């Protein structure tokens, strides 16, 4: 698994207190190691937003970013089970998703390698000024 996944920080589009005990963080931007033009990334992310909203799973926006490179990807917090989140991740060509359970931030591949790998407390990775 790419080491960048373990350094990601998050900017929330909703108050931390409004997030449930368990949720997924998913983006539809080009997966690690690939490059898509801006329009492809935006179209994929809009399709993901529409799917999550249509299914009643959309909680709000979350942007994950690298504190080293400042590379950022807008994504979504979604009320989904881990398995559902991985299935959606695969459909949207994602290598991995983040999952939060009982305050702990995890990362996992979406494919057959799926397994929750703990990172740290989610609140420690959320920017206070976001």
Residue with tokens 């305050």: 103
Whether residue 104 is contained in a domain is answered as yes
Structural domains in the chain (count): 1
Measured distance CA(96)–CA(128) in Å, rounded: 25
Residue 129 confidence (pLDDT):
54
Residue 3 confidence (pLDDT):
83
CB-CB contact of 90 with 110 (8 Å): yes
Count of C-beta atoms within a 10 Å radius of residue 58: 18
Q: Give the long-range contacts of residues 37-46, CB within 8 A, separation 24 or more.
A: 44/92, 44/93, 45/74, 45/75
Whether residue 130 is contained in a domain is answered as no
Give one DSSP letter per residue of 35-52, joined into a string. Answer: ---HHHHHHHHHHHHHHH
Which residues are paired to 22 by β-bridges? 101
Domain residues for 113?
3-125
Residue 36 confidence (pLDDT):
74
Residue 37 confidence (pLDDT):
77
Whether residue 88 is contained in a domain is answered as yes
Measured distance CA(130)–CA(127) in Å, rounded: 5
Residue 34 confidence (pLDDT):
66
Residues of the chain with pLDDT under 50: 130
């Amino acid at each position: 698994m790419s080491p960048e996944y373990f350094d990601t920080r998050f900017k929330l589009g909703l108050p931390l207190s409004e997030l449930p005990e368990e949720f997924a963080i998913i983006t539809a931007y080009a997966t690690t190691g690939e490059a898509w033009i801006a329009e492809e990334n935006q179209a994929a992310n809009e399709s993901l937003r529409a799917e999550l909203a249509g299914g009643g799973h959309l909680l709000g926006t979350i942007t994950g970013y690298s504190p080293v490179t400042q590379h950022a990807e807008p994504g979504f917090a979604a009320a989904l089970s881990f398995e559902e989140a991985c299935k959606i991740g695969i459909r949207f060509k994602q290598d991995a998703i983040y999952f939060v359970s009982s305050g702990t931030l995890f990362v996992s591949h979406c494919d057959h390698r799926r397994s929750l790998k703990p990172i740290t407390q989610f609140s420690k990775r959320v920017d206070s000024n976001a």
